[in-house]
Every structure is written in structure tokens, then in C-alpha cells.
Amino acid sequence: MFITLHGYQYSVYTRIVRMVLAARSIAYRYVEIDPFTETSDHAQCGLHPFGRVPVIEEDGFVLYETAAICRYLDDVSGKVTLCAKTPRDLARMNQIIAITDNYGYWPMVRQVFSQGVFRVAEGGTPDIAEFEAGLATSRQVCHALEDIASGGEFLIGGGLSLADLHLGAMIAYFTAASEGQAMIATFPRLAAWWQVMRENPLLSETDPGLPNAPRA
């Protein structure tokens, strides 16, 4: 199997796929594409009808949507290791990934991180209203996750799963804002999980850093 990953260096979703590729020791070729400036080209070249990243390609098989990509990579790289084992744990794993995608990504990453950290690093002015709105919604998301997190070092009992990697990449960005870090600390189960997860080498090895502000 030889995989090509089309991604964007600062994309949280690309980072999730990179974490799974590293966790499963899968060699791959990486193609950088910035979906925020090249959306039409990206969509036109037929890889992603919605002009987003990541996308993987393997011998003509093209796959987009991060959760589907991660499940596929875990499935094709030998014995499945990153999926929960029992039907209930598997359901929880999928639930956490879906909560992360549908309710967490926008406020935590696109509002709190993008406005409060990324834009500042680029030398831009954050939109405070967006940032504050993101924080308020993120609290709701944390409440929901706190209710279902295991309270141990992994979100689902039984070991590291795709849920840890999916949410972990988002929380890494969210906690890059001091307000995000302070919020996570107020949720005991999430805080206990994050204290362990943030030290996971899969996170540090895929950390894209921040852009440098242009010199005045």
C-alpha cells in the first residue's frame, strides 16, 4: 500500500490523519495544499468536491472525510488497534468523534484558536466577538464530553483510540489559547485525560507550530 496525503500544514484535520499514519507506522507521500487560498483549484482537480483537506489517495482510491480516512488506515494496516473493542465502547468512540466534528471544531478551532492564537501569530487583529462566542460554545461542548469521558488516561476505557487522536488534535489548538487551557482545567475528567494526552509523542511529532508574523 502506498498512500498520498493531501493536506495543509496548519489543518487540524490533516494533523489527525498524520497522527494515525504515525501511530500505524504507515509510510506516505505528503502534498501540501492550502484550501483557504486554493479552494477552487482543489475542488476542480476532483479530489474533494467541497474543496477541503485532508484527502488520501491510494492506487486510484480517493478518500476524504477524516473520520472515514482514519478508520480506513487503521483497518488496512494490519490488526485494528485504534478502534474500541466492544460495541458500546465503539459507539462512544464514534460519538466523541462526531461531537468533535459537529460541535467542537468550529468554536474551539475556528473561533478560539484561529482568532485568539493563529491570527495574532500572523500579526493580524483578532475578532474578539468571534473569540468570545467560540469560548461560550466550547464550554457547552466540554460539558457534553465531560459527561461521557472515562475519567482515565484515555477517553474510552481499554486504550488509545481514534477518539483520543481526533479530540486531542482539537484540544491541542484550543489550549494554545490560555482561555482554552483554563476552561479544560475546570472539567476534571477532560483535564485528567488531557494531562496525559498532551504528552503523547504523536501530538508533538505532528505539531505544525505557528506562522511567523511578517516583519513590519
Ligand X SMILES: N[C@@H](CCC(=O)N[C@@H](CS)C(=O)NCC(=O)O)C(=O)O
**What is the contact surface with ligand X in residues (CB under 6 A)?**
8, 11-13, 35-36, 39, 51-53, 65-67, 101
Give min distance, CB of 212 to ligand X, in A: 20
Q: Which three cell numbers stand for residue 97?
A: 468523534
Give min distance, CB of 11 to ligand X, in A: 4
CA torsion 164-170-171-175 (nearest 10°) is: 160
Give min distance, CB of 199 to ligand X, in A: 24
- Angle among Cα 39, 45, 31 to the nearest 5 degrees reads 75
Q: Which three cell numbers stand for residue 60?
A: 486510484
CB nearer to ligand X: give 62 or 185: 62
CB nearer to ligand X: give 39 or 137: 39
DSSP state of 10: T
CB nearer to ligand X: give 21 or 187: 21
- Of all residues in the chain, what percent are helix, strand and coil, respectively (each to 5)? 55, 10, 35
Give the residue at shortest CB distance from ligand X: 52
Give min distance, CB of 48 to ligand X, in A: 8
Phi, psi of 39 (to 5 degrees): -55, -45
CB nearer to ligand X: give 35 or 107: 35
CB nearer to ligand X: give 167 or 187: 167
Report the candidate in 93, 196, 87, 84 with the shortest Cα–Cα distance to residue 148. Answer: 93
Give min distance, CB of 216 to ligand X, in A: 29
